[in-house]
Amino acid sequence: MAEKYQVSHHPVEYFISLIKSGSIAIPEIQRPFIWKPRQVRDLIDSLYTGYPTDYLIISQSPDMKLRDGSTSEGKKILIDGQQRVTALMTSIAGYEIVDSELERK
* pLDDT tens-digit series, residues 74-86: 888 888 998 999 8
Q: Identify the CA nearest to 56 among candidates 73, 25, 87, 78.
A: 78
Q: State pLDDT tens for residues 22-34.
A: 888 888 888 888 8
Q: Do you know the residue count of the chain? A: 105
pLDDT band at 2; cut points 50, 70, 90: low
Output the pLDDT for position 7. Answer: 85
Cα separation, 49 vs 1, in Å, equals 38
Amino acid code (one letter) for 3: E
For the ranges 20-24, 36-40, 58-62, 96-100, which has the lowest average pLDDT?
96-100
pTM over 0.85? The answer is no
